Amino acid sequence: MKLQELVSVLDTELQPWMFKDYCPNGLQVEGRENVLRLATGVTACEALIDQAIAWKADAILVHHGYFWKNEQAQVTGMKKRRLQKLLTHDISLLGYHLPLDGHPTMGNNATLAKLLGIEETGPMDPSESRPIGNIGEVADTVSLEDFGAAIEKALGRKPLLISGGDHTVKTVAWCTGGAQSLIGKAIEAGVDAYISGEISESTVHAAREEGVHYISAGHHATERGGVQAFGAWLAVNHGIEHQFFDIGNPV
Ligand SMILES: [Zn+2]
């Protein structure tokens, strides 16, 4: 398919104009006109670009692209090397950040819920028109430890569990990636546990003192679902060849 058509199909589905984001969403680096092979990955790091080049990708779709607010504007060092490889090989980079978190069926939050067996019941913040965090329930009430073990099995990474008390887990709030600061919204929602990717020193105190379990399940580990779901969807609906490249990251 034509690159412009791919961008327009993704924009239509992800509606980036509905989100206030920290980076440009959509086509970030323009490559060749036709896209047959689409590589996907969580972050447009150099290792992903190298694998995409080796696989002869025409374009790369990621969750964490480039040109973040407050980042240095100069094209030097790491940024130079990444852009040089993309431009030399005429490979496009498409990045979708918050729109990919929030997509109701193929987004990072939706796919994480499926993976962990959580049934969504609503948004974490009811005032958001496009919620990027959700609340829901697990089928059977479990202990925090057993829930942690199930998450480890599903994501292939041991989560860090912060106990908020003796209670079991039935209701859950979750928001993938670096959303530990949204724990206040989970507390307001009154859930048993809150899952995100990363953790800060202050998250531990909020969990303990407000009585909500906190589960730090990995930023990378919780954000692999969205790009894979979109790659698979493009393969089925638009005849594109898709390959996901998992560049390991312990955080
Ligand atoms: Zn992220």
63 CA → ligand 1 middle, Å: 7
- On the question of pLDDT at 4 being above 90, the answer is yes
Confidence at residue 129, expressed as pLDDT on a 0 to 100 scale? 78
Q: What is the DSSP string of 198-248?
A: ---HHHHHHHHHHT-EEEE--HHHHTSHHHHHHHHHHHHHH--EEEE----
Confidence at residue 83, expressed as pLDDT on a 0 to 100 scale? 98
Question: Residue length, the chain?
Answer: 251
190 CA → ligand 1 middle, Å: 25
- Sorting pLDDT into bands at 50, 70 and 90, what band is 131? confident
Confidence at residue 132, expressed as pLDDT on a 0 to 100 scale? 87
110 CA → ligand 1 middle, Å: 14
Q: Which CATH topology does 3-97+223-244 take?
A: 3.40.1390
Confidence at residue 78, expressed as pLDDT on a 0 to 100 scale? 97
40 CA → ligand 1 middle, Å: 15
Mean pLDDT confidence for 107-111? 97
What are 10-34's pLDDT values in tens digits? 999 999 999 999 999 999 999 999 9
53 CA → ligand 1 middle, Å: 23
- Sorting pLDDT into bands at 50, 70 and 90, what band is 212? very high
35 CA → ligand 1 middle, Å: 26
What is the percent of the chain where pLDDT is above 90? 97
62 CA → ligand 1 middle, Å: 10
21 CA → ligand 1 middle, Å: 12
Mean pLDDT confidence for 146-175? 98
- Sorting pLDDT into bands at 50, 70 and 90, what band is 128? confident
Decide: 169 and 144 in contact? Cβ < 8 Å.
yes
Q: Mean pLDDT score of the chain, rounded to an integer? A: 97
Contacts of 39 (CB under 8 A, 6+ apart): 48, 51, 52, 55, 57, 59, 60, 61, 242, 243, 244, 245
16 CA → ligand 1 middle, Å: 16
Q: What is the CATH number of domain 102-222?
A: 3.40.1390.30
187 CA → ligand 1 middle, Å: 22
Contacts of 109 (CB under 8 A, 6+ apart): 101, 102, 132, 133, 134, 174, 175, 176
Give the number of other CB atoms < 10 A from CB of residue 212: 26
Lowest mean pLDDT among 20-34, 117-131, 132-146, 188-202: 117-131
Confidence at residue 89, expressed as pLDDT on a 0 to 100 scale? 98
Are the folds of 3-97+223-244 and 102-222 the same? yes
166 CA → ligand 1 middle, Å: 31
What are 46-99's pLDDT values in tens digits? 999 999 999 999 999 999 999 999 999 999 999 999 999 999 999 999 999 999
> pTM here?
0.96
Domain map of the chain by residue range? 3-97+223-244, 102-222
For 90-120, letters b (16+ CB in 10 Å) and e give: ebbbbbbbbbbbbbeebbbbbbbbeebebeb
Mean pLDDT confidence for 193-211? 98
CA within 13 Å, CB half, 142: 18
- Going from the C-alpha of 182 to that of each of 45, 168, 176, 214, 217, the distances in angstroms are 26, 21, 11, 11, 15
Helices 108-116 and 225-238 pack at an angle, to 10 degrees, of 100
